[in-house]
Amino acid sequence: MLFEQVTTGGCQSYLVGCPDTLSAVLIDPEISQIDRYRALAAKHGLRVRYVIDTHTHADHFSAAKQMGEMLGAPTVMHHASPAPHVGLRLDDDDVLIVGNLRIRALHTPGHTGDSMCLVVEDRVFTGDTLLIGGAGRTDLPTGDPDQLYDSLFGKLLTLDPALLVYPAHDYKGRSHSTLGAEIADNPRLQKRERGEFTQMMRELSLAAPTHMTEALRTNMTGGKTVCQLLAEASAEVPHIGLEALHRRLGDRPNDLLVLDVREESAFKSGHIPGARHLPRGQLELRVNEEIPDPTLRIVTCCEFGKISMLAAATLRSLGFMRATALDGGMKTWREGGYPLDY
C-alpha cells in the first residue's frame, strides 16, 4: 500500500494508493493542503479515483468538493450526508475497489449521523468515531451518544484488535494506534455499559469548535468559505499600495477616483482627501449615477482592505476595467500618518 498521512494542526488526512495499479483514494482532505495532496499524488504517480469525507466535519474546511473537481473523481460520503456535491453515497458494508485495494465502509453514526469508518487491509480510518485516547464528541448537529455506543461497542471494536487506527484528528502529534491498544487504554472505552458511556458523553460539555458555523455551512452545502471568496476576489483585481496612491493623489490626476465603500459614519470620521463615498451595500444601485465614466482608474478603499476587494471585483464585472483595490485599509492609512479629510 502506498500511504501518505498529512497533518494540518489537529486534522489528519490520508492518501492511500494501490502499488500495482497506482489508483488511490484521498480521505478527509483539508482545504489548506490542496497543493500538497496534488503534489503527493504526483510524487507517487497516483491517480485519485475517490475523494472520501468520513463525515460532515464541523471543525475544519473540507477540500473534498474542490479536490474531486480538480482530480475528476467523485466525492464520496455516507448516504446520510446532506452535502449536495457528493457524487457517490455509500451504505454500510459497501466496498470501493481501488486497483487491488478493497475499501470497506462501515456506517458508524454517533459523532455525526453520516459518520463512516473505512477498513483497508491492515488499517481502519476511523474519522471521528474513534480517536487515539478519545472518541468524537456527540453534542454537535446529528450527534447521538447512544448511536456512538452501538457504533463502537457493537461494530468497530469487534473488528480485529490488530487493525491500525488512523483517526481524522489527533492534537498530540501521534500518527496512529491499534484497536487493541484503544480497547485497553482509551479512557472513553472504559465505560463499557451503555448508560455509563452515554452519561459520560453527555457530560463532556466541550467548547464549540472554532469556525463551527462556517465549517458546517460550507461542508454541508459545498459553498465557499469567506477566505475563499476573498482569495478569488483578490486574484481578479490588482491592488495599489498606500504610498503609491498618496503620491498619485499629489499629482491631482483627473482620471483617478478614490471610492470609499464604508458606511457613512466611518466616511465622515476621516477619509482619503478627494474620496467619493458610495457604500458597498449601495454600489450596484448607485454606480451609474456616481461613476459615469467607465474608463476611470477607480481605487476602492474600506476599513480593513477586504470589502474593498469585493467592491473592486464587482466594479470590474460591471465593466469598470481599471478598478483597483487599496492594498490595506483606512486603518493602515491612518496609522501610516497619511492625510485625511473630514
Residue closer to Fe ion, measured from CB, 7 or 21: 7
144 lies in the site for Fe ion, by CB under 5 A: no
Contacting range for Fe ion; rule: CB under 5 A; set: 120-128, 197-205, 276-284, 310-318: 120-128
Q: How far is the CB of 67 from Fe ion (least distance, A)?
A: 18
128 lies in the site for Fe ion, by CB under 5 A: yes
> Strand pairing of 116-120 and 123-127?
antiparallel
Residue closer to Fe ion, measured from CB, 58 or 96: 58
30 lies in the site for Fe ion, by CB under 5 A: no
Contacting range for Fe ion; rule: CB under 5 A; set: 121-129, 176-184, 288-296, 309-317: 121-129
Q: Are the beta carbons of 55 and 112 closer than 8 angstroms?
A: yes
Residue closer to Fe ion, measured from CB, 135 or 312: 135
Residue closer to Fe ion, measured from CB, 57 or 271: 57
Segment 155-184, which members bind Fe ion (CB under 5 A)?
A: none
Q: How far is the CB of 238 from Fe ion (least distance, A)?
A: 39
Residue closer to Fe ion, measured from CB, 136 or 305: 136
Q: How far is the CB of 52 from Fe ion (least distance, A)?
A: 14
Q: How far is the CB of 119 from Fe ion (least distance, A)?
A: 19
Which is nearest to 48 in space by CA: 2, 7, 105, 109? Answer: 2
Q: How far is the CB of 226 from Fe ion (least distance, A)?
A: 21
Non-local (6+) Cβ contacts of 132 within 8 A are 165, 167, 170, 172, 174, 176, 177, 182, 186
Contacting range for Fe ion; rule: CB under 5 A; set: 42-50, 128-136, 256-264, 312-320: 128-136
Residue closer to Fe ion, measured from CB, 130 or 258: 130
Interface size with Fe ion, residues (CB under 5 A): 2
Residue nearest to Fe ion (CB): 128
8-state DSSP, 263? -
Residue closer to Fe ion, measured from CB, 169 or 271: 169
- For residues 12 and 30, give the distance between their C-alpha atoms in angstroms, rounded to a whole number: 8
Q: How far is the CB of 130 from Fe ion (least distance, A)?
A: 12
Segment 248-287, which members bind Fe ion (CB under 5 A)?
A: none
Element spanning 215, H or E: helix 212-221
* Residue bearing cell 480497547: 183
Which residues sit opposite 107 in a β-bridge? 116
User: What's the gap between Cα 154 and its chain centre?
Assistant: 32
- Name the 3-class secondary structure at 27: strand
- For residues 151 and 146, give the distance between their C-alpha atoms in angstroms, rounded to a whole number: 9
Q: How far is the CB of 252 from Fe ion (least distance, A)?
A: 57
DSSP string, 273-295: TT-EE--GGGHHHHHHHH---TT
Count of Cβ atoms closer than 10 Å to residue 235 Cβ: 9
Residue closer to Fe ion, measured from CB, 110 or 279: 110
Q: How far is the CB of 217 from Fe ion (least distance, A)?
A: 15
Please report, as a single letter, which amino acid is at residue 227.
C
Q: How far is the CB of 196 from Fe ion (least distance, A)?
A: 23
Q: Are the beta carbons of 54 and 125 closer than 8 angstroms?
A: yes
Q: Are the beta carbons of 228 and 245 closer than 8 angstroms?
A: no
Q: Are the beta carbons of 209 and 59 closer than 8 angstroms?
A: yes
Segment 46-65, which members bind Fe ion (CB under 5 A)?
A: 57
**Contact footprint for Fe ion (CB under 5 A):** 57, 128
